[in-house]
């Protein structure tokens, strides 16, 4: 009897130890908290991937990863260029609430706003960034210190301690616009094309050309750069994934793949339509973390997602609560939430001013443009330096473009509405189509409500934003009673609405609030000369306004419409103003004057170019002015 008892006791002990061993090994192989890897491609739209339907693409690795996860077909960057997008990604907050929407700007944010990897790091994660850090705020270096255990071109999970969970970001920059469009072809050839074997290269004649480009051998040669750059990235991602597999980390790692904004191109990057914001995005969740994925049996979803949602989502996957100031929603995790709409914004990019606000329900994309009299192809050195942009301007001058191809060279519509499912390259604007009146009304109302609740601080002229930032943060200013956004937005909403708004806009010039007066002047500048002729004297009387942005805007209007010599004198005085943003506003307005008026500022522009300590924004504007009026070659001494 004792022998039987001891036999069963020994057997039970062995089995118990075996079970504990299995459980221990399972825990070691699959940590309770997931590892997370971000694969971030630069400047790329979903239309260029095989998994999204592009039959000319050669991206087998990326396509296999996309097909292995859940594809987000309505994923949007909050900004249309890298630095505002990265600000929203790292903080989980919106640029138009914190004043961080102008590309490569340097305005402060509250010290209470922390980068989301800070919370992961405090929870024991190894956080690594490889390696972009353009967070678009004067707090850039604080954010870098607080976010990352390491941030460099050699950073990665491989530097963590044993069994430490990790969050690792990898940026792949060979699809950046500098490679695909802007830099000279020789530079692209050395960096991209020559790095691919002959059988990997996508031939010029094989690519799918967007409808808005004229199909010529020269354009195909330029646009094939995007396809080949993406192939090079496909190879680089393969190397990274092989390292994950070799270290047996795939089953314990949730992988995100996305782009930092829409494609690098002439009608995409920095533009307010969906082509500038819609990004490829996929999340691969291994079986061990299937409970964190609410899309278990789906290959794709049209649920709207923006970069505002990434920070709370990552924190949720790690079992952490998002701080209250984060306004996005976690779309993965134990308690995911769905957004009804995706809201996006585009502001100044380089020297070119812009202010568009957009919303999508996942199917339709509505955009409201608040800057009148500007084409989608604005005068901007970084873009006009590209051979493809110069080809397009040449074709246009020769009358060789069809209406769709010429559209980006015309004044932008005030409203745009595109069907993302049926209109791949977004060339059919449905905003004026009565069949889509209800869709437009629904999205327009949602956008209005969002902007009013957010008190969008980027409706301030940048000279004011800069001045405010010397004593407080834009966020704290817009949160105070000093920012009368309702009155400002009411006036801004009249921009581009036609002659029915002239009376209200003229009344707005007498408003006590200088920002209201500024938007009244902007709105009037979009009115036709014939409609403003009866009010010429009234407009001229306002040239003495004590708020410089109003004076500059009205001077440009009076000079453009009526050739007023006093208006010319006002613009001349502001060309040389010590405030960079007032000088920039004046030069930018001069760029868009009728050529017969614009060219008369040549000597003053040359004087400005000789000024010491000139900002890059002004230097680029001057280069564009002389390129347009003298045919002076656009030059960059270095290529990035």
Q: What is the mean pLDDT of the chain?
A: 94
Give mean pLDDT, residues 493-505.
97
Query: Residue 345: which pLDDT band, with cuts at 50, 70 and 90?
Result: very high
Nearest-10 crossing angle of helices 548-562, 580-591:
10
Query: Residue 41: which pLDDT band, with cuts at 50, 70 and 90?
Result: very high
* DSSP assignment letter at 181: I
What percentage of the chain carries pLDDT values higher than 90? 94
Handedness of CA 181, 186, 187, 189 (dihedral sign): positive
Query: Residue 373: which pLDDT band, with cuts at 50, 70 and 90?
Result: confident
At 19 the pLDDT is 37
Q: How far apart (Å, rounded) are the C-alpha atoms in residues 335 and 365?
A: 28
Query: Residue 284: which pLDDT band, with cuts at 50, 70 and 90?
Result: very high
DSSP per residue over 7-70, as a string?
A: HHHHHHHHHHHHHHHHHHHHHHHS-SSPEEEEEEESS--GGGSGGGT-TT---HHHHHHHHHSE
Query: Residue 382: which pLDDT band, with cuts at 50, 70 and 90?
Result: very high
Q: How far apart (Å, rounded) are the C-alpha atoms in residues 468 and 461?
A: 11
Q: Output Rg (C-alpha) for the chain, integer angstroms.
A: 27
Q: How far apart (Å, rounded) are the C-alpha atoms in residues 67 and 128?
A: 26
* DSSP assignment letter at 411: B
CA angle 537, 546, 472 (to 5 degrees): 145
Q: pLDDT tens digits, residue range 530-588?
A: 999 999 999 999 999 999 999 999 999 999 999 999 999 999 999 999 999 999 999 99
Q: In the numeric block, which tokens belong to residue 155? A: 């950073």
Q: How far apart (Å, rounded) are the C-alpha atoms in residues 462 and 468?
A: 10
Query: Residue 387: which pLDDT band, with cuts at 50, 70 and 90?
Result: very high
Predicted confidence (pLDDT) at residue 26 exceeds the cutoff of 80: no
CATH architecture label of 484-630: Alpha Horseshoe (1.25)
Q: In the numeric block, which tokens belong to residue 576? A: 């040389």
At 640 the pLDDT is 86
Q: How far apart (Å, rounded) are the C-alpha atoms in residues 164 and 551?
A: 60
At 8 the pLDDT is 39
Predicted confidence (pLDDT) at residue 129 exceeds the cutoff of 90: yes
Q: Where on the phi/psi map is residue 635: left (φ > 0), alpha (ψ -120 to 50), or beta?
A: beta
At 372 the pLDDT is 78
At 297 the pLDDT is 87
Q: In the numeric block, which tokens belong to residue 40? A: 């971030």
At 23 the pLDDT is 42
Give mean pLDDT, residues 281-290.
98
Predicted confidence (pLDDT) at residue 29 exceeds the cutoff of 60: no
Query: Residue 513: which pLDDT band, with cuts at 50, 70 and 90?
Result: very high
Inter-residue contact 220 to 205 (CB < 8 Å)? yes
**Cis upstream peptide for 131 (omega within 30°):** yes
Contacts for 42 with CB less than 8 Å, ≥ 6 apart = 82, 171, 172, 173, 174, 175, 176, 177, 259, 260, 264
DSSP per residue over 461-495, as a string?
A: -HHHHHHHTTTS-HHHHHTSTT--HHHHHHHHTTT
Sheet with 253-259, strands from edge to edge, namely 150-151, 126-130, 166-172, 35-41, 253-259, 281-284, 70-72, 300-301
At 16 the pLDDT is 40
Q: Which long-range contacts link 478-487 to residues 24+ away (Cβ below 8 Å)?
A: 478/97, 478/99, 479/455, 483/455, 483/457, 484/513, 484/515, 484/516, 485/452, 485/455, 485/456, 485/459, 486/452, 487/511, 487/513, 487/516
Predicted confidence (pLDDT) at residue 5 exceeds the cutoff of 90: no
At 15 the pLDDT is 37
Where are the domains positioned within the chain? 484-630
Q: pLDDT tens digits, residue range 421-445?
A: 999 999 999 999 999 999 999 999 9
At 451 the pLDDT is 98
Residue 150 has φ and ψ, to the nearest 5°, of -150, 145
Question: Residue 255: which of 294, 228, 282, 277 has the closest Cα?
Answer: 282
For tokens 């769709």, name the residue.
404
Cα separations (Å) of 468 from 107, 476, 487, 492? 9, 10, 19, 21
Give mean pLDDT, residues 400-427.
97
Q: What is the distance between the terminal CA atoms of the chain, rounded to a whole angstrom?
A: 83
pTM of this structure = 0.94
Query: Residue 265: which pLDDT band, with cuts at 50, 70 and 90?
Result: confident
Q: How far apart (Å, rounded) are the C-alpha atoms in residues 508 and 487?
A: 10
At 545 the pLDDT is 98
At 565 the pLDDT is 97
Judged by DSSP in three states, 72 sits in strand
Q: pLDDT tens digits, residue range 307-336?
A: 999 999 999 999 999 999 999 999 999 999
């Amino acid at each position: 009897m004792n022998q039987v008892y001891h036999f069963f006791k020994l057997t039970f002990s062995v089995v118990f130890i075996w079970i504990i061993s299995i459980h221990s090994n399972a825990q070691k192989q699959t940590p309770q908290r997931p590892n997370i890897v971000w694969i971030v491609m630069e400047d790329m739209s979903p239309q260029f991937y095989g998994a999204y339907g592009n039959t000319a693409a050669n991206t087998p690795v990326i396509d296999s990863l996309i097909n292995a996860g859940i594809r987000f077909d309505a994923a949007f960057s909050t900004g249309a260029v890298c630095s505002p997008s990265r600000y929203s990604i790292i903080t989980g907050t919106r640029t138009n609430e914190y004043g961080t929407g102008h590309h490569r700007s340097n305005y402060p944010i509250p010290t209470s706003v922390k980068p989301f990897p800070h919370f992961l790091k405090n929870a024991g994660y190894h956080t690594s960034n490889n390696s972009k850090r353009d967070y678009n705020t004067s707090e850039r270096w604080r954010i870098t210190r607080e976010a990352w255990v390491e941030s460099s071109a050699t950073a990665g999970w491989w530097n963590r301690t044993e069994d430490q969970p990790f969050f690792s970001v990898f940026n792949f920059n060979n699809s950046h616009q500098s490679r695909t469009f802007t830099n000279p072809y020789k530079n692209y050839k050395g960096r991209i094309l020559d790095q691919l074997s002959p059988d990997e290269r996508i031939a010029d004649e094989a690519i799918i050309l967007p409808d808005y480009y004229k199909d010529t051998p020269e354009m195909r040669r330029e646009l094939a750069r995007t396809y080949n750059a993406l192939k090079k990235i496909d190879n680089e991602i393969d190397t990274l994934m092989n390292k994950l597999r070799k270290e047996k980390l795939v089953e314990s790692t949730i992988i995100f793949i996305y782009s930092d904004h829409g494609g690098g191109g002439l009608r995409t990057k920095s533009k307010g339509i969906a082509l500038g914001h819609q990004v490829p995005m996929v999340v691969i969740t291994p079986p061990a973390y299937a409970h964190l994925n609410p899309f278990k049996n789906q290959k794709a979803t049209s649920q709207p997602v923006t970069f505002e949602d990434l920070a709370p989502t990552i924190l949720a996957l790690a079992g952490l609560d998002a701080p209250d100031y984060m306004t996005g929603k976690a779309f993965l995790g134990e308690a995911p939430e769905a957004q009804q709409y995706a809201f996006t914004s585009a502001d100044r990019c380089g020297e070119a001013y812009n202010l568009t606000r957009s919303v999508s329900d996942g199917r339709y994309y509505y955009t409201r443009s608040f800057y009148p009299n500007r084409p989608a192809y604005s005068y901007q050195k970084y873009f006009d330096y590209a051979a493809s942009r110069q080809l397009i301007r040449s074709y246009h001058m020769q009358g060789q473009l069809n209406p769709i191809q010429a559209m980006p060279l015309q004044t932008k519509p005030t409203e745009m509405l595109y069907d993302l499912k049926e209109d791949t390259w977004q060339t059919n604007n449905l905003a004026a189509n009565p069949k889509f009146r209800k869709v437009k009304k629904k999205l327009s109302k949602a956008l209005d409500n969002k902007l009013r609740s957010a008190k969008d601080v980027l409706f301030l002229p940048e000279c004011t934003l800069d001045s405010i930032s010397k004593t407080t943060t834009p966020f704290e200013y817009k949160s105070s009673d000093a920012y009368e956004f309702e009155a400002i937005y009411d006036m801004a909403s009249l921009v581009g609405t036609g002659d029915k708004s002239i009376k209200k806009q003229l009344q707005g010039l007498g408003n006590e609030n200088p920002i209201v007066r500024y938007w009244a002047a902007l709105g009037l500048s979009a009115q036709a000369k014939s409609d403003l002729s009866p009010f010429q004297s009234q407009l001229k009387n306002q040239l003495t306004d004590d708020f410089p942005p109003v004076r500059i805007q009205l001077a440009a209007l009076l000079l453009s419409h009526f050739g007023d010599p006093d208006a010319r004198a006002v613009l001349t005085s502001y060309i040389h103003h010590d405030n960079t943003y007032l000088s920039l506003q004046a030069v930018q307005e001069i760029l868009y004057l009728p050529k017969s008026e614009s060219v008369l500022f040549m000597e003053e522009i040359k004087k400005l170019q000789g000024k010491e300590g000139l900002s890059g924004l002004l230097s680029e504007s001057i280069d564009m002015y002389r390129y347009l009026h003298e045919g002076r070659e656009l030059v960059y001494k270095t290529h990035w």
